[in-house]
Structure 1
Amino acid sequence: MRFAAPRSPSPSPTRSNRRHRSRSTFGVPSDSSSEDETNGSDSESPSSSEEEWLSSGTGVQTSKPRKQKSLAEQWLMEDTLASVRRRINHHDPYEEWEKETRQEAFRVARQKHAQDCVQQRNARDERRAQDDQRRAALHALELKEVESQLAAMNLQKQQEEATLRAQWQERDRQLWARIDAVIKKEEERLRVKQEEERKKREAEERVKREAEEKKRQEEERKRKEEEDKRKQKEKEEEEERTKLVAAQAQKERELAEAEARKALGHTTAFEDWKRARDTLRTLKAGPMKVVKQDKSLKSIWSAGRRAITPKVGQLTNDMDVIVRVSHEVVNILRPSAAHPPPVYLALLSSLAKAILMQAETEVTAEKKSAIPLAQLTVNLLMALDGFADIFWAKLCQRAGGWPVPIAVPPKDVDGTAFTPQTQRKAHGFRDSDELESIGDYTSRVTGILRVYFTVLVLPVNQPLDPLFRTPRYWSYFSRMLKDPHLLENPTAAQVMFTALDIGGLIACEVWGSQWTRLLALLFEGVTVGYHGMEGRLIGGKSPEGNASRTRLQLEVERIMTAASTMAVGFAS
């Protein structure tokens, strides 16, 4: 194996000034020069062992006879080894200089780059500072303009606030005077109530002691003779007769009360609910079914229904328009050629539905639109036979038990148990795929009842059905305040607020101090708790109930303040 390491040219200035050998140094030298150098550098010639290693290529001797190398080959190997030794041991100043030059250039370039970065950053900071100064100046100018406008608005606002503050202070003074009077009255009532409860507890304890004594006597009586047992049996028979007599008296008293209510035209809540459900079931199973199955009757009914709906939509708050629409609707239901009875009843149902749907859409958005709808309803109740029953049935169908008011029972009036779907429909919820939220339900029901309460307080030329007369307003609140199940519903607070907003002051004029006592009970229900149960507030604890209860409380305070002012005016 042959080994050669050619010498690379060096740019070193030191190396360039050295004396080089002739080109034959790495070739075959002349005999004379080869001999001289060989004689002069015996120390540098390879030893016999080196010759053997170089000749073998692997350093392993073989048994074959070694071929004698020529002089040129020996010189070539010697020059190669000498060149390698010099290359390894040589220290090149030029390379050191070149390395230091590169490092110095790198340090200078890095320092220049750092200075350039600093200059660019300073330039950016300066431009940014200039931009900030320019924006600050612009903002300062805009701030001065805004401050000047705000100063003018604040001055106007302060003047308005001063006026309102004076008015509110006077109102608060009057209101707190009324509240203090009510509080004193309630404290006295509470004291009397506590005294009655104390007496009641004492009586209960006395009865309990008597019962314990009686029990002891009964235990002793069991151990007595047959005569004592006979006496006890006679006593039990006497008590049974007493209970039968009491039950008979209670039944007679209830019958007498029912006859008195019937004579006065009063009904119970369940009777009103039953009237609506019976009318609705009779209407669906009778006239509506007959009309829908007969094509000729159905065409007459469809034509009348299409004529009624736009008439109801034409209502405005102008009395002439209301009277005109009322006459046109009456003419549709009672033409010169009278409709067949099933068609007439079906058209009454469509008319009631059109009025209630108009109330759901318009009255919910604008409270004042309830007045023309209520006036139209009053005119139709006076002009159309049978409209009161059908309108009441449709009213309870779309608003549940709130027009009565009554908590919807678990069974229908015919004894059929409600399913979850039919019970939800009986409560007045919309029958759709998506469940109606309590907020939407309350808004829709109060829109319908706003029309109903307006009907109760509007003046009329002739008596209406008892369900639509003014005394019904008092019955509504008395029924509501007696039923805890209704009071804890969040819809109850909003419904009573709507009723007070419409007829609260009118009720003060009609019932006077009795209405004030009822408002006191209502105020207790929204501030302390209804039926003396502290913390059981009207409307419950839901967010909807809290908002409705606050509106109801403010409305009660407003009516009580107005009633007090009216009382002072009458006294003077």
Structure 2
Amino acid sequence: MEDTLAAVRRRLNHVDPYEEWEKETRQDAFRVARKKHAQESVQQKKARSERRAQEDERRAALHEQQLKEVEAQLAAMNLQKQREEEQLRAQWKERDKQLWQRIDAVIKVEEERLRAKQEAERKKREEEERMKREAEEKKRQEEEKKRKEEEERKRQQEKEEEEKRKLLEAEREREERDRADEKERKALGHTTAFEDWKRARETLKSMKNGPMKTVKADKTLKSIWSAGRRAITPKIGQLTNDQNAIMRISHEIVSIVRPTQPHPPPVYIALLSSLAKAILLQAETEVTAEKKSAIPLAQVATNLLMTLEGFADIFWAKLCQRSGGWPVPIVVPSVDTDGVAFTQDTRRKVLGYRDAEETTAEYSNRVSGLMRVYFHILVAPVNQPLDPIVRLPRYWAFFSRMLKEPQLLESPVAPQVLYTALEVGGLLAREVWGQQWVRLLALLYEGVTVGYHGSEGRLIGGQSPEGIAARVRVQLEIERIMNAS
């Protein structure tokens, strides 16, 4: 035992490097392990703390969310409760309203029933009164209509009788004047207004019943006439205010009407009629719109009147046909040249109206266009004598005859035609007739300002708007002529 113990003691006090190294290694490992353990413990503790904090935050957030959800549910429940309460209150109000509406409807129905009954009774009374009034008014209107018809019939009869009386009086006065001036007139070779009108009427009748009838009945003659007529119309439409063009067109028309190989006499007369008609139709359309277009038209007509034999008679007849008695001038008689009395329609046609619908204003403008061409023909310079019906002395005869015919002066057409005549030839007439023309203008001026034939207030053109306007133009034109140097 003692040896063993001594060995142990020796052993215990012996320092073995390996053992020391192993011991130190174990201690180092232990220390490292303890340090690592301590660090891991700290980390684990820290991680647990963080997880706990995160969990707390999550729980707090969840709690807050759940709290909000609960509050939202409570708010929704409160809102739903309020809505239900409002809905209930609205339903109660609606029920109360419907109840009162039914009550009011019942009351209204009763009131409407009573009102309808009263209204029906009122309408019945009014209808009875209206029917009674209508019956009385109808009776009164029928009586008034009968009375007016009777008055109108009497007035129309009196008017016709007055017109007939005036016409007969004018014819009687004209005949007396014609008889009084017959010797002097025959000595001078002058014609009366009636003779001039008769010339136009008889020429027109003889032309229609003679050459025109013959041409229209013969196909060969009609084809020649139609070809010539178609050639004439465009020539008249091509007129311009150019002397070369006027002379050229005049020669071309003469060549058509009077070719180298003469036409048969009926065709020649028919072509003259078509030529006159073309000139007058052009005057009605173009001259009415533009006054200056009358000048070349009148120059061509003058050239043809100097060249074509018999054209003056036919032109005069067609002019009077389209403008009545104004070219003469004359009050168209109540009977034709053959003694046959005119009807209302035939006399209107003889007066120159185109149709039953043509108004006085339209008629006046158309006649003015025709007469403008005629007056330009009268004042046109010529190098050979023309038929007296288209010579300058007719210009003076026109005014003297107009101022002698009160029935013509009453028409609203009169001042329009007089103005046209003055505008075309007033200055030339002053140069030709001098003081006599001035005296005639004085009478005319008195007629448009004071009254004609010594009757104050009885003005030329009457009181129609057309007559008043034309009368003012006549007055201004006379003043222009008298003031011209």
Taking structure 2 as the reference length, what is the TM-score of the superposition?
A: 0.63
Displacement after TM superposition at 1:399 (Å): 0.3
1-structure distance, mates of 2:180, 2:333: 26
**What's the counterpart of residue 561 of structure 1?**
483
SS of 1:520's equivalent in the other structure is helix
**What's the counterpart of residue 345 of structure 1?**
269
2-structure distance, mates of 1:313, 1:488: 36
Displacement after TM superposition at 1:259 (Å): 4.7
**What's the counterpart of residue 211 of structure 2?**
287
Asked if structure 1 preserves the Cα contact closer than 8 Å seen for 2:377 and 2:390, the reply is yes
Asked if structure 1 preserves the Cα contact closer than 8 Å seen for 2:364 and 2:416, the reply is yes
Structure having the higher Rg: 2
2-structure distance, mates of 1:288, 1:472: 29
Query: Do residues 367 (structure 1) and 291 (structure 2) align?
Result: yes
- Given candidates 211, 223, 226, the residue that maps to 1:299 is 223
**Residue identity in the other structure for 1:326:** S
Over 3 Å counting, the alpha-carbon distance change for 1:417 and 1:254 in structure 2 is closer
Spell out, residue by residue over 1:172-204, the C-alpha distance to the aligned partner (whole angstroms, 9 max, x if none).
xxxxxxxxxxxxxxxxxxxxxxxxxxxxxxxxx
What pairs up with 1:73-472 in 2 under 5 angstroms? Answer: 257-431=181-355, 435-472=357-394
Over 3 Å counting, the alpha-carbon distance change for 1:343 and 1:508 in structure 2 is same
Over 3 Å counting, the alpha-carbon distance change for 1:553 and 1:351 in structure 2 is same
Displacement after TM superposition at 1:561 (Å): 1.4
1-structure distance, mates of 2:359, 2:233: 27
**What's the counterpart of residue 217 of structure 1?**
none
Displacement after TM superposition at 1:265 (Å): 2.7
Over 3 Å counting, the alpha-carbon distance change for 1:482 and 1:286 in structure 2 is same
1-structure distance, mates of 2:393, 2:346: 32
**Residue identity in the other structure for 1:343:** V
1-structure distance, mates of 2:206, 2:398: 26
**Residue identity in the other structure for 2:458:** R
Asked if structure 2 preserves the Cα contact closer than 8 Å seen for 1:371 and 1:451, the reply is yes
1-structure distance, mates of 2:267, 2:178: 41
1-structure distance, mates of 2:222, 2:178: 46
Asked if structure 2 preserves the Cα contact closer than 8 Å seen for 1:374 and 1:454, the reply is yes
**What's the counterpart of residue 409 of structure 2?**
487
1-structure distance, mates of 2:264, 2:439: 51
Asked if structure 1 preserves the Cα contact closer than 8 Å seen for 2:178 and 2:192, the reply is no
2-structure distance, mates of 1:308, 1:259: 43
Spell out, residue by residue over 1:416-436, the C-alpha distance to the aligned partner (whole angstroms, 9 max, x if none).
1111111110000003xx510
**Residue identity in the other structure for 2:371:** L
Percent identity among equivalent residues?
71
Asked if structure 2 preserves the Cα contact closer than 8 Å seen for 1:265 and 1:466, the reply is no
Q: Which runs of 5+ in 1 are unaligned?
A: 1-97, 107-250, 567-572
2-structure distance, mates of 1:261, 1:308: 39
Q: Which runs of 5+ in 2 are unaligned?
A: 1-84, 94-174
Displacement after TM superposition at 1:360 (Å): 0.3
2-structure distance, mates of 1:256, 1:366: 43
**What's the counterpart of residue 450 of structure 2?**
528
Higher mean C-alpha displacement, 257-266 vs 439-448 = 257-266
Displacement after TM superposition at 1:254 (Å): 7.1
**What's the counterpart of residue 234 of structure 1?**
none
1-structure distance, mates of 2:263, 2:346: 33
Displacement after TM superposition at 1:447 (Å): 0.3
**What's the counterpart of residue 500 of structure 1?**
422
Displacement after TM superposition at 1:559 (Å): 1.1
**Residue identity in the other structure for 2:346:** T
**What's the counterpart of residue 122 of structure 2?**
none
1-structure distance, mates of 2:189, 2:281: 30
**What's the counterpart of residue 204 of structure 1?**
none
SS of 2:384's equivalent in the other structure is coil
2-structure distance, mates of 1:316, 1:278: 34
Spell out, residue by residue over 1:130-169, the C-alpha distance to the aligned partner (whole angstroms, 9 max, x if none).
xxxxxxxxxxxxxxxxxxxxxxxxxxxxxxxxxxxxxxxx
Structural RMSD (CA)? 2.1
Displacement after TM superposition at 1:459 (Å): 0.5
Query: Do residues 538 (structure 1) and 460 (structure 2) align?
Result: yes
1-structure distance, mates of 2:196, 2:402: 14
Displacement after TM superposition at 1:256 (Å): 8.9
2-structure distance, mates of 1:339, 1:424: 35
Spell out, residue by residue over 1:456-506, the C-alpha distance to the aligned partner (whole angstroms, 9 max, x if none).
111000011111111111110010001000000000000000000011111
